[in-house]
Structure 1
Amino acid sequence: MERKKLLELRKKFGLTQNQLGEKLGISTVYVRKLEKGVVNPGRDTLLKYELFFDKDMRELFPDIFFDKNDKKLIKNNERVI
């Protein structure tokens, strides 16, 4: 799942993947994989992105914080109650 917010913010800041990687202290390849959703960031990388872009990590990486089947989970929990 492509992380469009990361791509939008990087472009808004006028940065290439290489430039962002240098500013965050991570590789260009890692930046690319994060944007494409191929890999998930570690805690340190989450914090670097959050501080650099001044955005909550849940907004930057929604796919790792929210279940895609949220409605299904809510529906199942309602049955249990």
Structure 2
Amino acid sequence: MKRELLLQLRNKRRLTQQQLAEELDISTVYVRKLEKGVVNPGRETMLKYERFFEKDMRKLFPDLFFSINDKKLIKNA
């Protein structure tokens, strides 16, 4: 699942993936994979994003936090 909000926030600040990686002290490849939803961040990385963009980690990484509708997914599995 592509994390659109991460892309939007980075682009709004006119930052490249490399520049953001330097700001957050993580690798450029990791930023790219996080934005594409290929990998999930650890708690420390989520906190870095949360502080940098001043947005709740639940909004930045909504796919990692279950919604009320999760019961439907379990029933369908």
TM over 0.5: yes
- Aligned partners of 1:32 and 1:7: how far apart in 2? 9
Can you give the 5+ residue segments of structure 2 that lack an aligned partner in the other structure? none
Identity, in percent, stands at 73
After TM superposition, give the deviation of residue 70 of structure 1 in Å.
2.3
Mapping of residues 2-13 of structure 1, within 5 Å: 2-13=2-13
Gap runs ≥5 in structure 1: 77-81
Partner of 1:37: 37
Alignment of 1:1-81 (within 5 A): 1-67=1-67, 69-70=69-70, 72=72
Higher CA-based Rg: 1
Q: Distance in 2 between matches of 1:25 and 1:68?
A: 34
The number of residues matched between the two structures is 74
TM-score normalised per structure 2: 0.88
**Whole-Å Cα distance in 2 between the matches of residues 53 and 39 of structure 1?**
19
Q: List per-residue Cα deviations over 1:11-60 (Å, max 9, x = no partner).
A: 00110000000000000000000000000000100000000000000000
Runs of 4+, deviation exceeding 3 Å:
none
